[in-house]
Structure 1
Amino acid sequence: MNKKKIIFPVLFFFMMILMISGCALVKGDPTTEEDSLDASGVKGISVDYGSVDVVVEGGSSSQLEVVFDTFERGPKLSMNRRGDHVDIATERGGLQIGFIKLGGYSSDPPKMTVKIPNNHKQDLKLEGSSGNVQLRNLNLNQIDFSASASDVNGGGITANRINGSSTSGSISIAFEKFATDANLSSSSGNIDLSLNDESPDLTLETATTSGNRKIDFPMSGSEESGTIGEGTHHVQLETTSGNISVTP
């Protein structure tokens, strides 16, 4: 019998066993990584969360703190300071054979929690693929985010400016204090803004291809764009197949 005819089925069987067992064996046991640094003088924070869930929230100390719940052979935490900027990222883990990446998460996926001191009004930038983003009780100068298959949910937010986009996820922001210029877009998700203000001042521009609009304020202008109050802040919202909602 031709040896090649024997070897190829055996190799294929071996690879299938590895791939099936990868989720249970490759990731290893749960583990927690932690890092922190003095946030004095920090003006910008970048978070590359990859495909893990991330929570960014206000902290009570003067330290920038990161807690990463992962696995022994799962993604690893990286935090580096360059002058007045801090880079936080997840680095790939797991086992790779050739171009085949083994390992998955049959249980809870990794999760990163970032705590930013409330007394430092910095810039925050987030970028990732398939992990969801939660923003809690933040008082920042500017928030920028770019997500592929992520939902972005914010609560208790105060910021001078917010720029963000999600390809196939929804965006929901509830403000603690609305005094914000915003430019938000989503291809196949909804955009919901809760301003926490009965009489805000903003100029609103909306665009949606196949979604509905719900604007719970008297607005001068057209259904798509107009002025609410004095029109001080500029808010631009755009979806392709999602709804747009702006409420008090």
Structure 2
Amino acid sequence: MPSNTSHRRFQAYNVGLAKTGTNSIATLFGRYRSAHEFMFRETVAQIASWQEGLVSQESFKAYILERDRRGFLEMDSASFNHHYLQILSSTFPEAKFIFTIRDCYSWLNSILNMSLRYATNIPDWMLRYSKFFIGYEIERATVGNIPATQQKLPEMVESLLLYWSTYNQRVLDFLPVERCLIVKTNQISDTLETIADFIGIPPESLVVSDGHMNRAPESLQWLQFLDQVWLEERSNFHCGTLMKQMFPNWSPTP
């Protein structure tokens, strides 16, 4: 990340959820002051305290301003930025917002695979705060074991679907229309010029690699372990309206 902090050439945030391309967006802007999950542990702890009523709105906003001062980022891409989108939008009236959004089915599978891959290495503080950035509280013994995960899969999926619908809709409700760009995760690589034009930088200044820039390794297809009628019913219940709006032709592929 370039270290010149004399001025910002632009100020932009990615406010997408985890596993929607937040790392890919940060990588794209690698020639600028760009970071992924900047001050992750401290910020997630602050979000948790704020949402639990342990710190005031004023104190939390002061923390966000201090975080901004420390990073002085041009592209701040983090899976937790969406929690305080209203603060960012009102505090920084010139800032621009990219919102990466992924269909609920592939997002579910990606979140579950991430949990399984990193279960044994997840620090205790992340276990505690996991519900604030992926929608459910990780149980190390469950996600570190495939049969145990399969047994609890309906419960986990129900929670994750609710999280997907609630927070994606919340972002859409609070995005400043004149300062936002919505990018579907599977189209990031195809919309580089659009992204560059939106930010106001030359497209050739983006750091481009082949394919999806943070593609996960080969993974399990978790949705095949679910009753497909149940999955469709619960997906429609929680996510149907938003899926029809954003992904009208999408359907699960067991």
TM-score category of the 2 structures, normalised to the smaller one:
under 0.3
Per the normalisation by structure 1, the TM-score is: 0.28
Larger % of strand: which?
1
Q: Which has the higher contact order (CA 8 A, sep 6+)?
A: 2
| Higher Cα radius of gyration | 1
Per the normalisation by structure 2, the TM-score is: 0.27
